[in-house]
Amino acid sequence: MTNAVTESAETGSGADDAAAELREVHIGFGTGRNATPVVRGVTLRLRRGRVLALVGESGSGKSLTSLALMGLLPAGAALTSGTVKLGGEDVAEFTDRRWRSVRGREIAMVFQDPMSALNPGFTVGRQVAEPFRLHLGDGRRDARAKAVALMREVGIADAETRYDAYPHEFSGGMRQRAVIAMALALGPRVLLADEPTTALDVTVQAQILRLLARRQHEDRLATLLVSHDLGVVARVAQEVAVMYAGRVVEQGPLDAVYTRPSHPYTLGLLNAVPEPGTARPVPIDGQPPAPGALPGGCAFHPRCPFATDRCRTDDPALTPVADGRAVACHNTAEVTASQRLQETS
């Protein structure tokens, strides 16, 4: 495992191997002085063949971060500063036309709810075939043949007849397979997966994750997995970035972050996950702050058991620490020490 994180925490080092990159990205709702900051300085790098998981509560800005890579921020939201790069190119230079040729071809997305992500008025097959028609200018028959093959490949049985079925005639898992097929149709280099299994049954979750992992490996995709589910993240990701109130508070290799969390929020998240055979899960006290009503200093301090006076005034920067990690916390030492204490007791 290379030190991707320390690298990304520095600025200006050679970024040629990054398939996609966000640097000090700020996203706000509204414009001018009234803009509400929702994402506040996020730096991430996606590299081919690797999965970076973006973890955090809803409202932490993780979905917006991934949509920024697609140039598909919702109405009202805009990139206020920072750069987004795809394949080394700054997307600020992209015209609408360029965006259209990039989306679906170089970067693709799998969404949370496969039912609402599919158009209820069109057959599933037509929607899977759409990338071929849009990008390659394929005729109806060519596109159909390719789409059927693709559907078969992602495990949709009887693809030839299922091509003409509508989304409501598919099961949740099959729908998500179709969405994945759509995303992978043109062999993109970057895949964004926004809570790809959240809306699915547990048994189906495992199948979809296996499918994603396999394609991820075979196609050497640079994947950004957005999830609030630490279990899902553990199964597929190599790197984790934890977001809180629009900032990355801890980032690093998966096992390092999971076994020795250095940020109190990460620690809280891990303690809050129910695990068989261990003590009862302990949820984090309080609620995350609303964007636009952030507390001064570190945004996490009102909920933080380690908070000191300094945390109320100083917002800690994301700083490299040991084993390839970066943490934004004044009291990292105390957080690590508390775990040692727990383990010995």
Partner 1 sequence: MGRFLLRRLLQAVVVALGAISLVFVVVRVVPGDPATLILGPDASAGQLASVRADFGLDQPLWRQYLTHMAGVLHGDLGDSWRLGGSAVSSTLDRFPATLALAALALLITVAIGFPLGMLGARKPGGARDLLISTGSLVGQAVPSFWLGIVLILLFARQLNWLPSTSDGGAAALILPSVTLALPFIGWLARLVRNGALEESAKDYARTARAKGAGERTVMYAHVARNIAVPVVTVLGLLMGNFIANAVIIEVVFSWPGLGSLMVDAITNRDYAVVEAAIVTITLSYIVLNLLVDVLYVVLDPRLTPENA
Partner 2 sequence: MTATTSPLSTAPVLEPARPRAHWRHRVPARVWAASAVLALFVLAALVGPLLLPYDPVATALPDRLLAPGAHTADGGIAWLGTDQVGRDLLANMLAGSRISLIVALATVVIGGAAGLLVGLVSGYFGGWIDTVLSRIGDVQLAFPSILLAILIAGVLGPSVANIVITLAVTRWVVFARVARASALATRDLDFVASAQVLGAGHARILIRHVLPSCWQPLLVAATVQIGLTMVAEASLSFLGLGIPADATSWGATVSAGRDYLGSAWWISTVPALALAAVVTSVGLIGDAFRDVADPRAQL
The one among 2, 13, 58, 81 contacting partner 2 by CB under 8 A:
58
Distances, alpha carbon 1 to alpha carbons 4, 5, 6, 253, 323, in Å: 8, 11, 12, 8, 10
Within positions 181 to 240, which residues make up the interface with partner 2, using CB under 8 A?
A: 198, 202, 228-231, 234
Within positions 179 to 198, which residues make up the interface with partner 1, using CB under 8 A?
A: 179, 182-183
The one among 44, 156, 284, 335 contacting partner 2 by CB under 8 A:
284
- Nearest-angstrom CA–CA distance, 100 and 235: 32
The one among 75, 157, 293, 341 contacting partner 1 by CB under 8 A:
75
The one among 122, 149, 275, 309 contacting partner 1 by CB under 8 A:
122
The one among 72, 204, 273, 307 contacting partner 1 by CB under 8 A:
72
Asked if 230 touches partner 1 (CB under 8 A), the answer is no
Asked if 116 touches partner 2 (CB under 8 A), the answer is no
Asked if 136 touches partner 1 (CB under 8 A), the answer is no
* Partner whose footprint covers residue 339, from partner 1, partner 2, none (CB < 5 to 8 Å by kind): none
Least separation, in Å, of the C-beta of 241 and partner 2?
A: 15
Distances, alpha carbon 182 to alpha carbons 109, 118, 327, 330, 341, in Å: 9, 10, 37, 44, 49
Asked if 118 touches partner 1 (CB under 8 A), the answer is yes
Asked if 137 touches partner 1 (CB under 8 A), the answer is no
Asked if 279 touches partner 2 (CB under 8 A), the answer is no
Least separation, in Å, of the C-beta of 264 and partner 1?
A: 35
The one among 258, 260, 308, 323 contacting partner 2 by CB under 8 A:
258
- What is the distance between the terminal CA atoms of the chain, rounded to a whole angstrom? 32
The one among 30, 41, 155, 295 contacting partner 2 by CB under 8 A:
30
Least separation, in Å, of the C-beta of 343 and partner 2?
A: 17
Question: Nearest Cα to 61, choosing from 73, 52, 45, 75?
Answer: 73
- Nearest-angstrom CA–CA distance, 32 and 256: 40
Binding range to partner 2, per CB under 8 A, among 83-91, 173-181, 214-222, 287-295: 287-295
Asked if 287 touches partner 2 (CB under 8 A), the answer is yes
* Partner whose footprint covers residue 284, from partner 2, partner 1, none (CB < 5 to 8 Å by kind): partner 2
Asked if 76 touches partner 2 (CB under 8 A), the answer is yes
Residues interacting with partner 1, by CB under 8 A?
70, 72, 74-75, 96, 100-105, 108-109, 111, 113, 116-122, 127, 130-131, 134-135, 166, 168, 179, 182-183
Q: Contact residues for partner 2 (CB under 8 A)? A: 29-31, 34, 36, 38, 56-60, 75-77, 198, 202, 228-231, 234, 258, 269, 272-276, 281, 283-284, 287-288, 290-292
